[in-house]
């Protein structure tokens, strides 16, 4: 029965996994694992480039869009406009979205490879890089991934309840995620109230005692990983003043003459903020500010220090570094000098990392990626990867889009060149549906997600916000099935 063609308007109440997919007459079956930007961009390119392909997207959570929903800062709504493109892809007649399917647990990659001509792994980078220093597990130390997940409503982080009853927070790392976290910690509550930040975190931030945020990097101002937009937002953040150390910028004015454009503008902004005397209006603004933020350079964590109770963070011991070499390739080398910063909150923003989800898939533990060539997984015909799983956790959504298009291009090339045997029939989701059914897994369709979306918007509107996210998977499932 699973191979019958069913008209799209017929609804199979028992298992909607089977209905829409079986309605597509496409012969080539491709599935994508992960419903983040990489998954949707890979699907988009495949659907456009190949008229005979059915693309199914399997996503672990009931809700789609990965880090666009759970990573991108709530006060950057314009970045989330990509969701409308992803929605168009999901509505394509030859595309199906199956949320609430955890690949590696609910269904194996081998089973997907049996059912599809090609499988594209796009499940992102959900692990944390650890600092590997003593005290990392103390109360009050959080990976940025969890802190961001908390304020953005990631179900697994909803109970984080970070302690914000301290004056100084230290963020380790100087990329855009670090700058996002610093901004959220110091933003006026009235600004955050207008965003889709969760009410729970809004309430906690409204009570926050954090008045000072130091953003610490192991290298110098010329190696900072953040970009000018995010730094400018810090510089202009209402009710805050910069607290920089002018001596850390010695020699920068000279360096400006030789550095290329984007970094030059970023360095000019840092120099202006740290060294130039402010104009009168800015001087007054800084004088009236109740909060401060600062960048600190050439410091690496040695140990997170506990307070008198031995349980909660009270400071961090840092090695003072010097740089060897120049530019992006320069290396931080410890000078032997050590210093301590007092703080009651430490957020480590030193990178995300991909994790293996299935022992049958090759994985490079050192680089934390699936080893691939142009998205083709090495020594695994018919298996591909895209997004952060392919490249490591670097780049913005546009970078992810390009690398996902490249992977999709490789899939199309292999399907058309005969590299993959696309002539033999594959069942696609009609082969996977019964397996999931047997295992008690009930997928969430895209129209189910639209019910969740509607409910979140309704709850948000009641509070004057664009949305109030559901934080609990069970509640998402219940809403999807009403």
Q: Compare residues 122 and 240 and give the one whose CB is closer to ligand FAD.
A: 122
Is the CB of 173 or the CB of 315 nearer to ligand FAD? 173
Q: Is 104 in the site for ligand FAD (CB under 6 A)?
A: yes
Binding residue count for ligand FAD, defined by CB under 6 A = 35
Within 10 angstroms of residue 32's Cβ, the number of other Cβ atoms is 35
Interacting residues with ligand FAD between 180 and 199 (CB under 6 A): 180
Minimum CB separation of residue 119 from ligand FAD in Å reads 12
Nearest Cα residue to 32 out of 363, 375, 367:
375
Asked if residue 35 binds ligand FAD (CB under 6 A), the reply is yes
129 marked among binding-site residues: no
Task: Please identify which residue in 16, 21, 37, 150 interacts with ligand FAD, judged by CB under 6 A.
Answer: 37
For the bound state, the minimum distance from the C-beta of residue 210 to ligand FAD, rounded and expressed in Å, comes to 19
List the beta strands (DSSP E) in 141-272.
141-143, 168-172, 212-216, 240-242
Nearest to 276 by CA among 250, 239, 255, 246: 246
Give me the count of residues in the chain.
Answer: 482
- Largest Cα separation within the chain, whole Å, is 77
Nearer Cβ to ligand FAD (233/342): 233
Bridge partner residues of 140 (DSSP): none
Among 100-108, 314-322, 326-334, 418-426, which window interacts with ligand FAD (CB under 6 A)? Answer: 100-108
82: CB partners within 8 A, 6+ apart:
37, 68, 397
Hey, which residues does 99 pair with through a beta bridge?
Answer: 444
| Interacting residues with ligand FAD between 67 and 96 (CB under 6 A) | 67, 71-72, 76, 79
* CA distances in angstroms from 2 to 15, 249, 417, 438, 479, listed in the order given: 11, 67, 29, 14, 27
Where are the alpha helices (H) located in 116-186, listed in sequence order? Answer: 144-152, 176-186
Please answer whether residues 134 and 398 qualify as being in contact, where contact means their C-beta atoms are separated by less than 8 angstroms. Answer: no
Nearer to ligand FAD by C-beta: 60 or 263? 60
Q: Are 33 and 442 in contact (CB under 8 A)?
A: no
Strand partners for 141: 346
Applying the rule CB under 6 A, the residues between 110 and 139 that interact with ligand FAD are 122-124, 126
Give the footprint of ligand FAD on residues 383-412 (CB under 6 A): 387-388, 395-397, 400
Between CA 320 and CA 317 the distance in angstroms is 10
- From the CB of residue 371, how many other CB atoms can be counted at a distance below 10 Å? 15
CB 103 to ligand FAD: min, Å? 4
C-beta closer to ligand FAD: residue 34 or 162: 34
Interface residues with ligand FAD (CB under 6 A)?
33-39, 58-61, 66-67, 71-72, 76, 79, 102-104, 122-124, 126, 148, 177, 180, 352, 357, 387-388, 395-397, 400
The annotation places the binding site at 38, 59, 67, 103, 174-177, 218-219, 230, 388, 395-397
The annotation places the binding site for NADP(+) at 174-177, 218-219, 230, 395
């Amino acid at each position: 029965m699973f191979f019958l063609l069913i008209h799209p308007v017929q609804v199979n109440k028992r298992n909607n996994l089977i209905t829409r997919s079986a309605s597509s007459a496409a012969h080539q079956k491709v599935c994508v694992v992960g419903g983040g930007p990489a998954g949707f961009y890979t699907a988009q390119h495949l659907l456009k480039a190949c008229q005979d392909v059915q693309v199914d997207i399997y996503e672990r959570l009931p809700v789609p869009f990965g880090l666009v929903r759970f990573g991108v800062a709530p006060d950057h709504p314009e970045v989330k406009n990509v969701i409308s493109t992803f929605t168009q892809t999901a509505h394509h007649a030859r595309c199906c979205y199956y949320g609430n399917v955890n690949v590696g647990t609910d269904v194996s990659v081998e089973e997907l490879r049996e059912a599809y001509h090609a499988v594209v792994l796009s499940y992102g980078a959900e692990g944390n890089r650890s600092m590997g220093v003593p005290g990392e597990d103390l109360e009050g130390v959080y990976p940025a991934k969890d802190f961001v997940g908390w304020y953005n409503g990631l179900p697994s982080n909803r109970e984080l309840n970070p302690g914000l009853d301290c004056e100084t927070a230290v963020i380790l790392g100087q990329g855009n995620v670090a700058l996002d976290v610093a901004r959220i910690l110091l933003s006026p509550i009235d600004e955050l109230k207008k965003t889709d930040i969760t009410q729970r975190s809004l309430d906690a931030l409204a009570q926050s005692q954090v008045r000072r945020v130091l953003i610490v990097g192991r290298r110098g101002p010329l190696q900072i990983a953040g970009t000018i937009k995010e730094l400018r937002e810090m510089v202009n953040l209402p009710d805050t003043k910069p607290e920089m150390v002018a001596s850390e910028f010695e020699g920068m004015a000279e360096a400006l003459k030789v550095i290329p454009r984007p970094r030059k503008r970023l360095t000019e902004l840092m120099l202006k903020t740290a060294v130039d005397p402010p104009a009168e209006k800015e001087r007054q603004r800084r004088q009236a500010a109740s909060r401060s933020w600062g960048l600190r350079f050439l410091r690496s964590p040695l140990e997170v220090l506990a307070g008198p109770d031995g349980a909660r963070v009270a400071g961090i011991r840092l090695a003072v570094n010097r740089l060897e070499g120049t530019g992006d390739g320069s290396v931080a080398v410890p000078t032997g000098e050590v210093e301590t910063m007092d703080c009651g909150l430490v957020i480590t923003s030193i990178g995300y990392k991909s994790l293996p989800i299935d022992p049958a898939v090759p994985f490079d533990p050192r680089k934390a990626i699936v080893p691939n060539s142009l998205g083709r997984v090495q020594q695994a015909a018919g298996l591909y990867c895209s997004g952060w799983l392919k490249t490591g956790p670097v780049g913005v959504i546009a970078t992810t889009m390009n690398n996902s298009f490249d992977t999709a291009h490789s899939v199309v090339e292999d399907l058309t060149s005969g590299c993959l045997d696309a002539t033999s029939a594959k069942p696609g989701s009609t082969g996977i549906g019964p397996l999931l059914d047997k295992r008690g897994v009930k997928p969430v369709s895209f129209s189910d997600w639209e019910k969740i979306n509607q409910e979140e918007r309704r709850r948000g509107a009641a509070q004057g916000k664009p949305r109030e996210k559901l934080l609990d998977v069970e509640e998402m499932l219940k809403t999807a099935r009403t």
